[in-house]
Amino acid sequence: MTLKPSDRILGIDLGTTNSLAAAVLPQGPEALTPPGAPGPLVPSVAVRVEGRWVAGRQAVPHRLTRPGDTFFSIKRLMGRGLEDLAEELPRIPYRVEGGDRKLVKVMADGQGFTPQEISAQILKEVKAGAEAALGESIRRAVITVPAYFDDAQRQATRDAGRMAGLEVERILNEPTAAALAYGLEQKAKGLVAVYDLGGGTFDISILRLDGQVFQVVATHGNTHLGGDDLDHALAEHLAARHPAAPLAEPLAKAALLREAERVKRKLSAALECDYRIDLGAGALSGRVTREELNALAAPLVAATLESCRAALAMGQVDPQQITEVVMVGGMSRVALVRQEVERFFGRRPNVAINPDEVVAVGAAVHGHMLGGHRKDYVLLDVNPLALGLETMGGTFTKIINANSTIPAQATEYFTTSADNQTAVELNIYQGEREFVRDCRNLGRFKLGGLPPMAAGLPKVKVTFTVDANGILTVAAEEERSGKAASIEVIPSHGLTSREIDRIMEDAVEHGMEDLTMRQLVEFRLTAQAVFRGIEKAWPQAQALFTPETQQAIRVQMTQVSAAAEGRDPWRLKAEMDRLGDLTRPLADAIISTAALRELKEFYQEHKERETP
Ligand code: AMP
């Protein structure tokens, strides 16, 4: 069958357990159900069978028969290295190994596959289902990710889309998509809480809506909390009623768990529900009430509200300030969840849209807007590459990260590295690398006329603002003297998306070596600062330390200098730590005096950076 090519931008929710696509149809936005499928959800599962990939619904049964080759929860591995995954690995039955550039690979058929490749298989299945539902061939999509996903995770998602043959028009935050599905961007201002409780994860996001733009104020959550926990609790509750039944056998256990999940769903609508667990030789049956389920769900719900409290605190928001609450995830149908969320925020949550579909629907709405169907809606854009400043040693300090939603604003404080500096130069770059020589220079300006002060004393507040059109303004103010200056630059001017891709790829390729070099430069700078601190404090040191200890400090300083000449950041760090141990009493004694700020900072591992 040949499908008619379409320019439509599909919305895709690439989830941990399930994925799905949605599109804006003449009758409105809708999740797409592939012909013959029971619903729009495509299980996020892929398996290698005889050298070929099988993904989605057909892959699910293989989880039992071929656990080593059947990949699920792959979203948890996207853009992560082995060291990020210590908590995940014990829960995963398939083999995960360290791959190139610190990213992981999963093993099947004696080959390694990246999480991107596995996700691409799932996306292909979603795309094929959507194409069959629409009768169109699709090439463009908006794909959603959790608000807390970092650059690497977003980039991995984008790559998965590309591998699936999709042009990824936008990576959109899941809570933003949910808010768009409800048309909340139409309200001029407000604070939106998006409560997302799925099978295995919980996320709370607080979004600030200002002039049709959502900014993430705070996120919190638990990557191992969700409906599965309630299924297990209910299964145990049921098993306890039948102490003589052989429920420890794997098949009986699976049947019990399946029945528990079914009963849990039923109790969202009904006040009681009968259960029946077939054990071959006989069956167990009985009745469960919603009250019983509520008692089992209470600790889980309490844990989610704890996260809500933490997110509100992080964003410095009171629950009463929240103007809209949006519910996402299948578990948000549970009666107790709705009731407690309503009580917590003091307002009725938005539940009208199917919580399994609301993210995909929002992504479709966003795709529709991007496709030019709503001309008034050009906002909610993202900044393609990080923007920042050159710092000591030619390092690049990012101030606004790639993929930040614009308009965006961020502020950092800098100081001087030499005494009596009357000007600081701000050198603005765009890129993803650790050193400015590998980034793109956007402009420079000088903040002059500063009164002479000791190094480290000036407080230069630098604010990067990207407006809705992608125009960057950089403003600097020395807070002690009130001197200020600013410059406007156009960061993406002349940069094609191909160049962006190349820069992104380079960044991944050189990530490790860059990072090592950067670490070395930073440790060297810290060492210099520490030496300055020690020299300044030497009169106190002589009073405080025995001649032997003073000698030991001097010897250790030469060790640090020798390591600083070398190229191994970790050796330098080790020598500095040793010096730190020797001089700690000195630091403790004088830590409060302003003259020894550098020392104090060193001991507190304070990260304030210095401008050249
Ligand atoms: P998600 O990860 O968003 O697909 O959410 C799936 C979770 O929602 C699973 O734990 C399901 O058991 C649960 N779920 C789906 N429908 C319902 C329902 N009607 N009532 C209670 N839980 C549900």
- The DSSP code sequence of 161-224 is HHHTT-EEEEEEEHHHHHHHHTTGGGSSEEEEEEEEE-SS-EEEEEEEEETTEEEEEEEEEETT
Determine what percent of the chain falls in helix, strand and coil, rounding each to the nearest 5.
45, 25, 30
Residue 236: pLDDT band with limits 50, 70, 90: very high
Residue 186: pLDDT band with limits 50, 70, 90: confident
| 232 Cα: distance to centroid of ligand 1 (angstroms) | 14
Report the C-alpha gap between 425 and 443 in whole angstroms: 11
Report the C-alpha gap between 460 and 415 in whole angstroms: 6
The segment with the largest mean pLDDT, out of 182-186, 236-240, 423-427, 569-573, is 236-240
Report the C-alpha gap between 454 and 332 in whole angstroms: 57
Q: Which of 480, 487, 456, 524 is nearest to 387 (CA)?
A: 487
pLDDT at 58: 94
Q: Identify the weakest region by mean pLDDT among 11-15, 161-165, 353-357, 523-527.
A: 523-527
| 332 Cα: distance to centroid of ligand 1 (angstroms) | 7
| 197 Cα: distance to centroid of ligand 1 (angstroms) | 8
Report the C-alpha gap between 172 and 521 in whole angstroms: 35
pLDDT in tens, 16-27: 999 999 999 988
Q: How far apart are the first and last CA of the chain?
A: 63
| 250 Cα: distance to centroid of ligand 1 (angstroms) | 23
- Residue closest via CA to ligand 1's atom 22 equals 331
| 118 Cα: distance to centroid of ligand 1 (angstroms) | 24
Residue 278 or residue 10, greater confidence: 10
Residue 270: pLDDT band with limits 50, 70, 90: very high
Q: Identify the weakest region by mean pLDDT among 79-83, 245-249, 271-275, 464-468.
A: 464-468
Averaged pLDDT of the chain: 86
Q: Is the dihedral of CA 29, 34, 35, 37 positive or negative?
A: negative
pLDDT at 377: 42
Average pLDDT value for residue range 366-381: 64
| 261 Cα: distance to centroid of ligand 1 (angstroms) | 9
Report the C-alpha gap between 260 and 273 in whole angstroms: 11
| 74 Cα: distance to centroid of ligand 1 (angstroms) | 19
Asked whether the predicted pLDDT for residue 503 surpasses 70, the reply is no
Q: Which of 592, 493, 585, 596 is nearest to 541 (CA)?
A: 585
pLDDT at 568: 87
Report the C-alpha gap between 56 and 48 in whole angstroms: 12
Atom nearest to 16 CA in ligand 1: 2
Q: Tell me the sheet residues that pair with 389.
A: 397, 428
- Residue closest via CA to ligand 1's atom 16 equals 330
- Residue closest via CA to ligand 1's atom 7 equals 199
- Residue closest via CA to ligand 1's atom 9 equals 199
pLDDT at 611: 42
Q: How far is CA 121 from CA 6, 98, 521, in A?
A: 21, 21, 41
pLDDT in tens, 547-582: 999 999 999 999 999 999 988 888 998 999 899 888
Atom nearest to 227 CA in ligand 1: 10
| 567 Cα: distance to centroid of ligand 1 (angstroms) | 53
Q: Is the dihedral of CA 585, 589, 594, 595 positive or negative?
A: negative
Asked whether the predicted pLDDT for residue 521 surpasses 60, the reply is yes
Atom nearest to 328 CA in ligand 1: 3
Average pLDDT value for residue range 108-120: 91
- Residue closest via CA to ligand 1's atom 15 equals 330
**514 catalytic residue (yes or no):** no
Residue 392 or residue 9, greater confidence: 9
Average pLDDT value for residue range 184-210: 91
Report the C-alpha gap between 238 and 393 in whole angstroms: 64
Residue 383: pLDDT band with limits 50, 70, 90: low
Asked whether the predicted pLDDT for residue 263 surpasses 70, the reply is yes
pLDDT at 275: 97
**13 catalytic residue (yes or no):** yes
Name the DSSP letter for residue 435: B
pLDDT in tens, 295-344: 999 999 999 999 999 999 988 899 999 999 999 999 999 999 999 999 99
Residue 84 or residue 176, greater confidence: 176
Distance of CA 579 to the CA centre of its chain: 37
The preferred substitution site among 201, 232, 265 for testing ligand 1, maximizing ligand atoms within 8 Å of CB, is: 265
Residue 378: pLDDT band with limits 50, 70, 90: very low
pLDDT at 301: 98
Q: How far is CA 124 from CA 21, 50, 106, 520, in A?
A: 11, 19, 19, 43
Ligand 1 cavity residues, CB under 6 Å: 17-18, 198-199, 226-228, 261, 264-265, 268, 329-331, 333-334, 356
**264 catalytic residue (yes or no):** no
Asked whether the predicted pLDDT for residue 462 surpasses 90, the reply is yes
**127 catalytic residue (yes or no):** no
Average pLDDT value for residue range 73-86: 88
Helix axis angle, 569-590 to 547-565, nearest 10°: 150
Residue 522: pLDDT band with limits 50, 70, 90: confident
| 269 Cα: distance to centroid of ligand 1 (angstroms) | 13
Residue 210: pLDDT band with limits 50, 70, 90: confident
pLDDT at 472: 79
Q: What is the DSSP track for 490-504?
A: -TTTT--HHHHHHHH
Q: Which of 301, 491, 261, 300 is nearest to 383 (CA)?
A: 491
Atom nearest to 41 CA in ligand 1: 4
Residue 602: pLDDT band with limits 50, 70, 90: low
Residue 84: pLDDT band with limits 50, 70, 90: confident
Q: Which of 139, 128, 133, 130 is nearest to 161 (CA)?
A: 139
Domains of the chain: 4-226+296-382 (3.30.420.40), 227-295 (3.90.640.10), 385-506 (2.60.34.10), 511-610 (1.20.1270.10)
Average pLDDT value for residue range 186-191: 86
- Residue closest via CA to ligand 1's atom 1 equals 198
- Residue closest via CA to ligand 1's atom 19 equals 265
Q: Three-state SS for 5? A: strand
Largest CA distance in the chain: 89
pTM of the model: 0.67
Report the C-alpha gap between 15 and 41 in whole angstroms: 10
- Residue closest via CA to ligand 1's atom 21 equals 265
Residue 444: pLDDT band with limits 50, 70, 90: confident
Q: Tell me the sheet residues that pair with 206.
A: 193, 218
Q: How far is CA 466 from CA 366, 408, 494, in A?
A: 21, 5, 17
| 330 Cα: distance to centroid of ligand 1 (angstroms) | 3
Atom nearest to 230 CA in ligand 1: 10
Distance of CA 346 to the CA centre of its chain: 28
| 95 Cα: distance to centroid of ligand 1 (angstroms) | 28
Atom nearest to 200 CA in ligand 1: 2
Active-site annotation holder among 117, 131, 174, 203: 174
Active-site annotation holder among 69, 196, 261, 356: 196
Contacts of residue 365, defined as CB under 8 A and 6 or more positions apart, other chains included, come to 11, 24, 29, 177, 180, 181
Atom nearest to 269 CA in ligand 1: 19
Asked whether the predicted pLDDT for residue 28 surpasses 80, the reply is yes
Residue type present at position 60: V
Q: Identify the weakest region by mean pLDDT among 45-59, 146-160, 164-178.
A: 146-160
pLDDT at 379: 38
Residue 155: pLDDT band with limits 50, 70, 90: confident
> With left for phi above 0 and alpha for psi between -120 and 50, is residue 201 left, alpha or beta?
beta
pLDDT at 2: 73
Residue 513 or residue 163, greater confidence: 163
Atom nearest to 261 CA in ligand 1: 12
Report the C-alpha gap between 462 and 450 in whole angstroms: 15
Q: Three-state SS for 113? A: strand
Report the C-alpha gap between 388 and 568 in whole angstroms: 26
User: What percentage of the chain has pLDDT greater than the value 70?
Assistant: 88
Atom nearest to 268 CA in ligand 1: 20
